[in-house]
Amino acid sequence: MYLIQRLLRTGLSCLLAVSVTLSCFFGGNAVYVSVQARKANRQQEELHNIYHSGQEVELPPEEEWIEPRLASLRAINSDLVGWLELGGEEGGFAAPVVQRDNAYYLKHDFYGREDRHGAVFLDYRNDTDPNDDNLILYGHNMNDGAWFHYLVNYQDPAFVAEHPIIGFDTLREEGEYAVIGVFVAATLPQHGDDFDYHNQVRFQTIEDKQDYLDRVRRRSLLDTGVEVTTRDELLTLSTCLYDFAGERLVVVARRLREGETAASFAALPVARSASPEMPAIWNQLYG
């Protein structure tokens, strides 16, 4: 009996030790995530303040043409190529956009410091002088709510109806874009999705561009009511989702035409698409 009681006490002690260890691990991990989130939010606010400060800086003669509001950020990081705004200034998301390759800013912030949050970056194949047919921006969807996590809002028709315009200013000019589609893509070869949206930075023919636009329409989770033709410039935002490995959420918008303003899109009846085309892996998992 004594031996059994001793074994029971030993077992309970071990369980308690494991429980405490796990509590410390998850508690510590939660603290780490919270600290990193606050750090990312502080950096975002700091960059926002720099952008709106209006501070004059001296740039090299060959860069004096840069938009004044971007000059301060360009002086900090020569990889800067633009400024992105989503959802308006009140409660929205805003960040500088950089460009190097498609790997560096996955693990480095705007200042070049190692950071799992990364930064918002333009596809290395894109040109902005003049703009390519389709500018593609990437950013992490962080579980602490930072950076491109904001894009998940674009799955909601009410949100897009209220915020149909995306602002993306390059070093040379301001730009506003109206959302035309929001879709889910699979990026791993074994999932067999043949829509390589991330390779569509420019189109060889009008037919190629029309095919791309048709596929965006068929796959879109929403009907935004925004007309688009092959003459329009496009902006694509891409981030991760986590229903399956390699999943991406993609938001596509077209540039406002001459004579259009944000007010032109204020009354669009945005609705969910009845049967959007989904990746094969999605259909296998969720029917």
Residue 175 is encoded by which pair of tokens? 């730009």
What count of other Cβ atoms lies within 10 Å of the Cβ of residue 35? 11
pLDDT tens for residues 31-58? 445 555 676 678 778 888 888 886 777 7
String of DSSP letters for 146-191: -BGGGGGGGG-HHHHHH--EEEEEESS---EEEEEEEEEEE-SGGG
Instruction: Report, in angstroms and rounded to the nearest whole number, the Rg of the chain calculated over CA atoms.
Output: 23
pLDDT score for 230? 97
pLDDT score for 15? 37
pLDDT score for 10? 45
The SS3 call for residue 140 is: coil
**Alpha-carbon distances of 39 from 32, 173, 216, 222, rounded to whole Å:** 11, 30, 36, 34
Residue 15, Cβ density class (10 Å: 0-12 exposed, 13-18 middle, ≥19 buried): exposed
User: What's the rounded mean pLDDT across residues 200-211?
Assistant: 96
Percent of the chain predicted with pLDDT > 90: 66
Q: What's the rounded Cα separation, in Å, for the pair 217 and 195?
A: 13
pLDDT score for 37? 61
- Residue type for 241, please? L
pLDDT tens for residues 207-262? 999 999 999 999 999 999 999 999 999 999 999 999 999 999 999 999 999 999 99
Q: pTM value?
A: 0.85
User: What's the rounded mean pLDDT across residues 153-179?
Assistant: 96
Say yes or no to pLDDT of 25 above 60.
Answer: no
Query: How does residue 13 score in pLDDT terms, banded at 50, 70 and 90?
Result: very low
